[in-house]
Chains A and B, each alone.
Chain A
Amino acid sequence: MEPCSFPHIESQLAPILVRHGYDATRLLQVLREVQDVLHFIPPEAVTCIASHFGMPRSGVEGVAGFYSFLSLKPAGEYRILFSDNITDHMLGKPELMQYFCNKLWVEPGKVSEDNLVSVDSTSCTGMCDQGPAALVNGWPLTNLDNNRLDLIAELIRLRKPLADWPPMLFEVADNIRRKGVLLDETQEPGAAIRETLARGARQTLAELDMSNLRGRGGAGFKTAAKWSFCHAAIAEEDGSEICDVDGTTKRVMVCNADEGEPGTFKDRVLLASYADLVFEGMTVGARVVGASKGFLYLRGEYRYLLDRLNTVLDRRRASGLLGRDILGEKGFDFDIEIHLGAGAYICGEESALIESLEGKRGRPRNRPPFPVTHGYLGLPTVVDNVETFACAARIAERGGAWFAAMGTPQSTGSKILSISGDCARPGIYEYPFGVTVREILADCGAQEPYAVQVSGPSGCMISWKEFERKIAFEDLPTAGAFMIFRRNRDVFQAAHNFVHFFAHESCGFCTPCRVGTQLQKKIMDKIDSGHGTVCDLEEMKRLGHLMKSMSHCGLGHTAGNPVLDTMEKFPDVYERKLANLAFEPAFDLDGALETAREITGRDDAWAHL
């Protein structure tokens, strides 16, 4: 179907552009809204936005083309994206998606003839504890089965607006199974800020230092060090002691809620039910480093939380916990704005996240300089994980020594795990650091566990021989994902799935990652189809090491992990798949005739090689 034309695009977009003040840093937010209203971003809209923002058209097209949830071609009035994580696969995603496509007479990745609906896959939507999951026009659908898909197909056929769909389709449960210091105790809003003001910023930083809190996003950088670097970046210049804030934005606090690592969904729960704790931590941080501007970068998949989070922010403003002169402290001004992502795993990388916050393509920056000195719009910026801020709020209230007494000496405090895969009770589990994998598996009712993917595709896969290992920075560091595979699960398929994930999510900036992730995908596809050889395994080892050594950022550095890890720990799953040959061409001669067979409608023996 020909794309429709938009003669009245100016008046259609005017309200959106006005609301965002024609501000180029709002470009991604504007494009998201255009996508919502028009179901894609037509060329007319690109031209219109570019002219109002005073930027080249190619710049707007560049941003719109980068994010998965934005579409430069019609994507249907209803765009259904099935979550493609391995846990969704294990719960029947491929069959369900095929069933749904058949039902609606659409091909995956294509729009129906009447432009009504399109069905495709998307990277993990963070609902692994209640999959198979999908998104419809950005709203999460959980616990999908044939019955639910029948209902959804019917609602689409009747062109029912999403607001009229049964709410049970969109229900998202917290599934908190085990609570620790973060999840168990309640904190009165403002308690940590009051303590911070009473103790002073300098002393609060000392408490944070004493707590030995390390970043919960996976890398484990010491939070107190990051905060003091950020403060020190311009301290000489503005002559400020820690905590002197004069009302102009000089430093920025960013909460990284772009929880894109497949298998991770703890931030979803923290934001859904513990948002005050997270915002409290950001406000404490603002006081310590002297920041007046805060952002929560919320992944597009979690846009269903947006209104709820804005309500919490409003309530905090009304109670004097955000805004000017917080809790009556003259000059303590800090507010938080929520920016939505639009489907790009790379934006979880802090410098890519900052680019995205500025309304650009999410491309990791060259470093140095680092965000703590040159971040958002060149200002010193702290970017911390959601859980890190929750910890900081607890530490500000209860003190560093209290926190440091939990966990292990190098990994203090607790860690929230998102558990999914083959277990009776998937969900959220909070443990003190140092807990063994075996203990966790017992608690969640894992069925004949064989392997666990710790910290998602970029983390590592451990085998049943390693279940005595501990969750801790010094042993198994993790951002929270914990995906369980029982005996007889094909571990190769997990690696295969992860390799596809990285190929889809590479930003494309640097050669080794852009091409390497594709080559890795092609080779894994070849092995999967029964054409793999020993040469291919060697090639993948070389690729994995090349990406690790030459790539621009963490995505490329870790993109080889799933293959390298599984090849080392489960060599038999690869060997079983190999064709018994030293060499097998990647080019499938018979497969190349498929188009000709389709055109001629032949499938007899003479049409094959």
Chain B
Amino acid sequence: MRELTYLQAIAEAGWQEMQRDPTVFVMGEDIRSGLFGATAGFLEEFGPERVRNTPISEAGFVGAAIGAAMTGMRPIVDMSISVFLYVAMDQVVSQAAKDTYLFGGQARIPIVIRSALFYGGSNAAHHSDRPYPMFMNVPGLKIITPATPYDAKGLLKSAIRDDDPVLSFEDCTLWYSKGDVPEDDYTVPLGSADVKHEGSDVTVVAIAGAVPHAIAAATKLAPDGISVEVVDPRSLVPLDRDTILRSVAKTGRLVVADPAHTTCSAASEISAIVVENAFGDLVAPILRVTTPDVQIPFSPPLERTLYPNAEKIAIAVRRVMESPVKASV
């Protein structure tokens, strides 16, 4: 099987969908130059009408994508970095998320907003957020968080074909990770979690860049006789609750690894769902491995320690294996 990087898989999804459907087009800041590689070569292939550089006007071009989507187009907005979504917040929340509902179903808004979770590279607080949880709190949006090249291509294709606004949060710590990606057309449906590593003692639900760390933790703990199951939700809205609950029913223990800040994180929501629906299955309290509620600092030694990693996940797994669990870390 052919290997692609995560970024190449993203590029291939957009490329193939633009070939398949003439209503798909892409716009964003500096995309003709293909700065991060997700739109490299698009201008030459698809021409300037369908590959649009925008001014630094996030509200303007997200709104324009919404208007174009309402009237028959399927725009892909390349927001480059997730924090720039804040600049377009009114358009994302007041228009993209709400107009289908507000207008009683008259509006279809098939728009994909791609953005990078741009953390871990000393870019400090203005660039490094992982803000998908705040958008989970906005009904009307769909949210994907691919963790592998295969999932990135398949999820993005589903997102582009979906008739609703989809936010794609692409983890920059995975940009150059490689994996098998079929060249042909395939999709990964929204709302289908994937068991990335099978196990029987502890379920680790891991999101985006936390997925490889969770798999590494599973590998590290196996020789100690601790069998970890890693579940990757792949999309946070819709969320595949069944796969998560099924895994917890099997293991009785849950750790959620999520690069977002702790409070109201995706991990918080997943924990609540498990407590509400599977309390009887749990033999230990749930632990979250998240980024503490501080802003992201610039200096590498300050930043490096903040995010979930294999070591932290392994510690959490060992703690839930002890029963009863000791006082919190």
Whether A associates with B in a native complex is no
Q: What is the interface of chain A, defined by CB distance below 8 A to chain B?
A: none
